[in-house]
Amino acid sequence: MTKKIFRGILFSSILTMLASLVFIIGVQYQIYVDSRYSSLRSKAYLISLSVNEAELQKYSSAEERITLIDRNGSVIFDNKADAAKMENHAGREEVKEALKDGTGYAVRRSETLGISSCYYAIKLQNGNILRVADTELSAGAVILQLLPPIAAIALLAFVLALVLASVISKKILKPINSVDLDSPETLSGYDELAPFVSKINSQRRRINRQIAELQGRRREFEAIAENMNEGLLLTDTKGHILTHNSSIRRFFGVQDDINGQNILTLNRSEVFREVFENIRESRHYENTITLGGMCYEVTANPVFDENNTPCGAVILVVDVTEKEKREKFRREFTANVSHELKTPLTSILGISDMLKNGIVAADDIKDFGADINKEAERLISLVNDIIKLSELDEGEVHNTERVDLLKSANEVASRLYPIAEKRGVSLAVAGESAEIQAGESLIFEMIYNLCDNAIKYNKENGSVTVTAGYKDGTPFVSVKDTGIGIAPEHTERIFERFYRVDKSRSKQSGGTGLGLSIVKHIAASFGGKVTLKSTLGEGTEITVTFNK
Ligand code: ADP
């Protein structure tokens, strides 16, 4: 801006200077013309005092040209040319004028001398005309004469204009440059700048308001993004990360700020390469990816601006590990249930087919009937267990009440004594009353399953002890047997649905493979924790500890 003002001032100064010079030259030239005329006239009157040729001879070497012409225009005398050879001058403008009015003046090119001259003619008393002529300087010649002083003046004026333009432009801009944009109102004493200052002020207030609004929105967005369990990535159309949340850093195990980097630096898997390609093509994309044993669902959606031009993408990364696990678990459970149901049904179908076709000997009918009965019982216990599990899965915990673990243990024992006796296993209940808040029938079911297993997987003359009471002030119930025990590699898995260490033994004794899953589920429903201690060939102790 300083340069612009400087150039403006300089340009107008030079223009003014040039106009002044032209005017001065014009005036000078006019002065010159006027002075030339009056000097020529004075000379003409002076010379007119010598009227005859002889007297005029003394002017033969004079600077100006002197001509004497008779009333008919014939040249009598001329101090610069041969009068006899000169043509008639009656037609000359100044001569004509002098003959008519007494004096005549003309400026033209001399036909005799061939130079530009000015002429002054006076009519003498004898009727002749005396004419005095002098060389006329053209305007160009006059300017040429004036050029050195004019050039000196112009140079001086130019330097002056240069200095003044620089000083003035700086002076004009000084208050504007010194304005404090944060508080422009401090600029006082410049009334002309008042509208400018007030405009800056209102603009500044508007910008501050908008900045505050944007910052507020940004904070809001960041707070939401940071509290999201899902990973959020915003990218441009080339896949460069514009922003991301902490879940992304957690999922991908990055510590540093990854803004500005390409998403491929975050992960180079096939899925992310496809995400990258789809972002560039502004297409929707979704897939699942496994990272460090975790499963994530990646969804990329293109973002368009108001002109429907793609301007980036939003990538959402959701942890679906649990969902996937549940899905897998559900698939396996369904397959297991189908398989488990199919086995007894196939036996029933086979036996009933044989009975229908009458190929069973009359003596064997009773045994086959017993087999059908056994398989049907297995089916019922299986269906019951499945129903129980699905109820527990649904979280259907019946009304809770105060349940005494010792009392439940005694009830289970009284139910199982005959079975234990049949298998040659002694069953005992020990301990003290320990009350918990739970569902009585479910606690019964839990202790029953544990005791049933302890009897089933026992040895001849083995024993089962059910103990209830408090350990470190916490209610517990434990079932200890002197049975076959469980090898360490199975201890974790026996709580899985349908997992059996020895399948045939389990089936033979009417097991469904769901007993311990139900135990674990019931315990968890009432805040209980199941722990197992077992030594292969020596026995097992399973304890359920409840909250205080
Ligand atoms: P099942 O109906 O087969 O008994 P469970 O879920 O109750 O199913 O038990 C799972 C498996 O754990 C059993 O098949 C058995 O191999 C093992 N198991 C359970 N309890 C005991 C125990 N007290 N002693 C030894 N093995 C046991």
Å from CA of 329 to ligand 1 middle = 20
What's the token pair of residue 298? 């990646």
Q: Give the C-alpha separation, 59 to 415, whole Å.
A: 172
Residue 392: per-residue pLDDT: 86
Is 436 strand, coil or helix?
A: strand
Å from CA of 402 to ligand 1 middle = 29
Test site for ligand 1: of 453, 457, 480, 505, most ligand atoms within 8 A of the Cβ:
453
Residue 528: per-residue pLDDT: 95
The residue whose CA has the least distance to atom 20 of ligand 1 is 453
Å from CA of 351 to ligand 1 middle = 29
Which atom of ligand 1 is nearest the CA belonging to 499? Answer: 10
DSSP symbol at 240: B
Q: In what order do the strands lie in the sheet with 539-545?
A: 426-431, 463-471, 474-481, 539-545, 529-535
Residue 426: per-residue pLDDT: 97
The residue whose CA has the least distance to atom 23 of ligand 1 is 454
Residue 82: per-residue pLDDT: 87
Pocket of ligand 1 (CB under 6 A): 449, 453-454, 457, 481, 483-484, 486, 494, 499-502, 506, 511-517, 540
SS3 content of the chain, % helix, strand, coil (to 5): 55, 20, 25
CA distances from 293 to 204, 241, 453 (A): 54, 25, 35
Residue closest to 287 by CA, chosen among 265, 269, 304: 269
The residue whose CA has the least distance to atom 18 of ligand 1 is 453
The residue whose CA has the least distance to atom 12 of ligand 1 is 494
> Which amino acid is located at 114 in the chain?
G
Instruction: List residues bridging with 532 in a β-sheet.
Output: 542
Contact 481, 464 (CB under 8 A): yes
Å from CA of 339 to ligand 1 middle = 19
Å from CA of 512 to ligand 1 middle = 9
Test site for ligand 1: of 337, 495, 500, most ligand atoms within 8 A of the Cβ:
500
Residue closest to 452 by CA, chosen among 498, 411, 412: 412
Å from CA of 453 to ligand 1 middle = 6
Q: Is the pTM of the predicted complex or chain greater than 0.75?
A: no
CA distances from 250 to 137, 232, 253, 324 (A): 99, 11, 5, 20
Å from CA of 508 to ligand 1 middle = 12
Chain Cα centroid distance, residue 314 = 11
Query: To which residue do tokens 């397959």 refer?
Result: 335
The residue whose CA has the least distance to atom 3 of ligand 1 is 513
Question: Which pLDDT tens digits describe the chain residue by residue (548 residues)?
Answer: 778 888 888 898 889 888 988 888 888 888 888 888 888 898 888 888 766 667 777 777 888 888 999 989 999 888 888 888 888 998 999 999 999 999 999 988 777 767 778 899 999 888 889 999 887 766 677 678 778 888 888 889 889 888 888 888 888 777 777 777 777 666 666 677 778 778 888 898 999 999 999 999 999 998 999 899 999 999 999 999 999 999 999 999 998 889 999 999 999 999 999 999 999 999 999 999 998 889 999 999 999 999 999 999 999 999 999 999 989 888 998 999 998 899 889 999 999 999 999 998 889 999 999 999 999 998 998 999 999 888 888 876 667 899 999 999 999 999 999 999 999 999 999 999 999 999 999 999 999 999 999 999 999 999 999 999 999 999 999 999 999 999 999 999 999 999 999 888 887 877 889 999 999 999 999 999 999 999 999 999 999 999 87
Residue closest to 539 by CA, chosen among 479, 469, 449: 479
Residue 151: per-residue pLDDT: 85
Å from CA of 352 to ligand 1 middle = 31
Chain Cα centroid distance, residue 136 = 83
Contact 541, 533 (CB under 8 A): yes
Which atom of ligand 1 is nearest the CA belonging to 507? Answer: 3
- DSSP secondary structure string, 454-521? HHHT--TT-EEEEEEEEETTEEEEEEEE-SS---HHHHTGGGSTT--SSHHHHHHTT--S-HHHHHHH
Contact 126, 60 (CB under 8 A): no
Who's near 193: CB < 8 A, 6+ residues apart? Answer: 175, 176, 179, 187
